[in-house]
Structure 1
Amino acid sequence: MPITRNVEHEITVAAPAKHVYHLIADVGNWPQLFAPTVHVEEVSQDERSQRIRIWATANGTAKTWTSRRELDPGALRIDFRQEVSQPPVGGMGGAWLVEPLSEDTSRVRLRHDYHAATDDPADLAWIDQAVDRNSRVELAALKDSAAAAASDLLFSFEDTVEIDGRARDVYDFVNEAQRWPERLPHVARVDLTEDTPGLQVLEMDTRTQDGSTHTTRSVRVCLPHRQIVYKQVRVPALMTLHTGHWLFEDRPGGGVTATSRHTVRINEDNIAGVLGESADVAAARTFVRNALSANSLATLGHAKNHAESR
């Protein structure tokens, strides 16, 4: 019989318990809240029960699984259990428990129970490491997010292009990132792996306006032929967070509306080093938006030419 582990991590958060509970309950916000989480989709939900599919990283590896959650807002508790686990995990569950310590302070406990898919001690050790690392990262992020005051560091924006073509062709252009160096002038190098269909790890060197390059690494969730969601796990110096998606929507009269959406958190500590001593958060936001929009619109422009030529 595989060995079952029971572990618990906790942290004290300077925020009311109900506020913290709602942060945990809102899975749509998890990619911005928790570093390991790339994307979450709600499969089904009733008043207290919820099935979700999660795409996330564990020990640097991209994984996906389906979980059921039982929500108890009265007790400030959320129980979870993976319905479909990915090796080396054989099974995993646990609970989030939020306890008020005062009106403005709470304790969060994150419990896990799990076993490996095999009797190999190395598999259980891998899960031990992943659970410990992700739990510490998630609790620290929850603490920072619950107490965050600098909301102007986090912002979202999008760019849209109308295309007289098929959504499938536009999707294929963005999905086939291994071909970007030959298709996109601003892409110098791509290293793409897809061990699980639809779950990609993309490392890319992007050319900047001054001719230099910077390297990013992203995990991408590809949902044919409607959406590609991504999260950068290696970001440029001006950011601490960059998530986004490519959305492909058929128009009623024909053609496709293609949208690139970005959510970014500015790295305030690096503004002066990148943009100069006189630069502030507003300047950093403008710089990042202009750079990301230019690349997105360039990609969508080439995707438009590709789709319309077909």
Structure 2
Amino acid sequence: MSAHTDNSIVINAPMDLVWERTNDIESWPRLFGEYSSAEILHREGNTVRFRLSLHPDEDGKVWSWVSERTSDEATRTTRSHRVETGPFKYMFLFWEYEQLDAGVRLRWVQDFEMKPGAPLDDSGMAERINRNSRVELALIKERLESVHALAAVS
């Protein structure tokens, strides 16, 4: 089995702002609502290995994992995968940035498979990822549009 999610939002801000802010991994805890920390472990060219940690859940558990991300500014895409897979057999992420008249369409595509015995099966995790992606994309949109509006006033 495997699962696939595909979520996007249009952000009314310049491409350079959206690209720079969403690829500044160190600042993700201030951009995303779910991350408590982002630690860069290694950089080589356009590839970054990093550890993300979530805010503690209801029982105090902090989920954390290592991912590797390669950005391609020429095509305005990124490709990532989890190095520490946790409950996933694998997790691949693709981000695409597309300039539209209304702004920048930020698209997140995730392909994954859960390990046997994981807390959720493939469809359950896909539902969770889709629900969370909508929340996080809306938050990123709000924050980046706010930064853009403040810059326009200055």
Contact preservation (8 Å) 2:48, 2:70: yes
Q: Which has the larger radius of gyration?
A: 1
Q: Identify the residue that residue 89 of structure 2 maps to in structure 1.
A: 90
Q: TM-score, normalised by structure 1?
A: 0.44
Q: d(CA) in 1 for partners of 2:32 and 2:68? A: 19
How many correspondences in the alignment?
147
Contact preservation (8 Å) 2:49, 2:68: yes
Identity of aligned residues (%): 24
- The alpha carbon displacement at 1:65 in A equals 0.7
- 5+ residue gaps, structure 1, are 152-310
- The alpha carbon displacement at 1:124 in A equals 2.5
Pairwise mapping of residues 264-279 of structure 1 onto structure 2 (< 5 A)? none
Letter in 2 for 1:74: A
Q: Identify the residue that residue 250 of structure 1 maps to in structure 2.
A: none
SS in structure 2 at match of 1:140 = helix
Change (3 A) 1:110 1:145: same
Letter in 1 for 2:89: G
Change (3 A) 1:101 1:59: farther
Q: TM-score, normalised by structure 2?
A: 0.84
SS in structure 2 at match of 1:62 = coil
Contact preservation (8 Å) 1:58, 1:134: no
Q: Identify the residue that residue 69 of structure 2 maps to in structure 1.
A: 69
Q: d(CA) in 1 for partners of 2:117 and 2:2? A: 11
- The alpha carbon displacement at 1:58 in A equals 9.3
- The alpha carbon displacement at 1:121 in A equals 9.1
Letter in 2 for 1:71: S
Q: Identify the residue that residue 9 of structure 1 maps to in structure 2.
A: 7
Q: Identify the residue that residue 100 of structure 1 maps to in structure 2.
A: 99
SS in structure 2 at match of 1:118 = coil
Pairwise mapping of residues 153-168 of structure 1 onto structure 2 (< 5 A)? none
- 5+ residue gaps, structure 2, are none
1:231-251 deviation line (CA, Å, top 9, x unaligned):
xxxxxxxxxxxxxxxxxxxxx
Q: Identify the residue that residue 127 of structure 1 maps to in structure 2.
A: 125
Q: Identify the residue that residue 48 of structure 2 maps to in structure 1.
A: 50
Change (3 A) 1:105 1:82: same
Contact preservation (8 Å) 1:92, 1:112: yes
CA RMSD for the aligned pairs?
Answer: 2.3
Contact preservation (8 Å) 1:58, 1:130: no
Q: d(CA) in 2 for partners of 1:139 and 1:106? A: 12
Matched, 1:145 2:116: no
Contact preservation (8 Å) 1:92, 1:114: yes
Q: d(CA) in 2 for partners of 1:137 and 1:128? A: 14
Change (3 A) 1:35 1:45: same
Contact preservation (8 Å) 2:39, 2:51: yes
Pairwise mapping of residues 151-300 of structure 1 onto structure 2 (< 5 A)? none
